[in-house]
Structure 1
Amino acid sequence: MQEFDQFISECDRGPRLNQLAKFFSETAAGDSGIPRRKPVVDTRLLPNDVLMRQFIELHARRQGNFDQHYHSSIPYRLEEECRMAYTILRYSRSSLESLSLYSLGTAEGTMARTLSELSGGKIQSLSCSPNEENHKCFMAFGDPPHASFFLGPFHRLSKEYLRADAKLARFSGGFDFIFEDTTFQMYSANREMQIEFIAQHLKPDGIMLFLEKFRSADENDYVAREAQKDFGFKTHYFGTDEIVRKKDAVLNTMHDCEVTLQAMAAAIYNQFRHCVVTWNSGNFYELAASNSTENLQKYVSLLPEPAIPVEYVYETSTYLELASVLTQLRNPTS
Structure 2
Amino acid sequence: MTTDSNPAFVDSAMNKLADYFDDLANGRVQVPKQPVTTRIRERIQDDDVRAYHDLLVTQAGPLFSHFLASVPGIVEELSRIGVALDRYTRERRKKDERNFSLWEIDAFDGSSARALAKYSNGAIRTLTNSPNKANQQHFDAHADKEISAFYSGSFLQITEDIVADSLGVDSPFFGVDYLYEMAAFQFYGRNRDEHLRFVSRFLREDGLAFFLEKCNQSDIQEYERRERVKDEKHKSHYFSEAQIAWKREAMLVQMENGQILFSDFVEAASRYFSHIYVIWNGTNFYEFVASNDENSISRFIELLGEPFIPEGFCFESPVVRKLSRP
Normalised-by-shorter TM-score class: over 0.9
* Displacement over 3 Å in runs of 4+: 160-163
Q: Residues 47 and 304 of structure 1 are in contact (CA less than 8 Å); yes or no, is this contact kept in structure 2?
A: no
SS in 2 for 1:224: helix
Q: RMSD of aligned C-alpha atoms?
A: 2.0
The equivalent residue for 2:210 is 209
- Report the Cα offset of residue 226 of structure 1: 0.4
TM-score, normalisation: structure 2? 0.92
Distance in 2, Cα, partners of 1:177 & 1:142: 19
Q: Residues 45 and 308 of structure 1 are in contact (CA less than 8 Å); yes or no, is this contact kept in structure 2?
A: no
- Report the Cα offset of residue 11 of structure 1: 2.8
Of 43, 46, 66, the residue aligned with 2:44 is: 46
Distance in 2, Cα, partners of 1:292 & 1:78: 28
The answer on 1:283 being equivalent to 2:284 is: yes
The answer on 1:115 being equivalent to 2:112 is: no
Distance in 1, Cα, partners of 2:118 & 2:90: 14
- Report the Cα offset of residue 160 of structure 1: 4.0
The equivalent residue for 2:78 is 81
- Report the Cα offset of residue 143 of structure 1: 4.6
Stretch deviating more after TM superposition (52-61 or 70-79): 52-61
The equivalent residue for 2:13 is 15
Distance in 1, Cα, partners of 2:91 & 2:77: 21
Of 52, 56, 65, the residue aligned with 1:55 is: 52
| 1:104-183 paired onto structure 2 within 5 Å | 104-141=105-142, 143-162=144-163, 165=165, 167-170=166-169, 172-183=173-184
Distance in 2, Cα, partners of 1:313 & 1:53: 21
Letter in 1 for 2:27: G
Q: Residues 177 and 202 of structure 1 are in contact (CA less than 8 Å); yes or no, is this contact kept in structure 2?
A: yes
The equivalent residue for 2:188 is 187
Which runs of 5 or more structure 1 residues have no equivalent in the other structure?
Answer: 327-334
The equivalent residue for 1:321 is 322
Distance in 1, Cα, partners of 2:294 & 2:317: 22
Structure 1 residues 300 and 241: alpha-carbon distance in aligned structure 2, compared to 1, 3 A threshold = same
Which runs of 5 or more structure 2 residues have no equivalent in the other structure?
Answer: none
Q: Residues 44 and 50 of structure 2 are in contact (CA less than 8 Å); yes or no, is this contact kept in structure 1?
A: no
Distance in 1, Cα, partners of 2:6 & 2:320: 33
Distance in 2, Cα, partners of 1:162 & 1:300: 26
The answer on 1:197 being equivalent to 2:198 is: yes
Paired positions, count: 318
Structure 1 residues 252 and 170: alpha-carbon distance in aligned structure 2, compared to 1, 3 A threshold = same
Q: Deviations over 1:229-280 (max 9, x none)?
A: 1112111110011001111111011101000011101110000111011001
Distance in 2, Cα, partners of 1:8 & 1:46: 44
TM-score, normalisation: structure 1? 0.90
SS in 2 for 1:208: strand
Letter in 1 for 2:235: K
Distance in 2, Cα, partners of 1:203 & 1:298: 16
SS in 2 for 1:318: coil
Q: Residues 46 and 304 of structure 1 are in contact (CA less than 8 Å); yes or no, is this contact kept in structure 2?
A: no
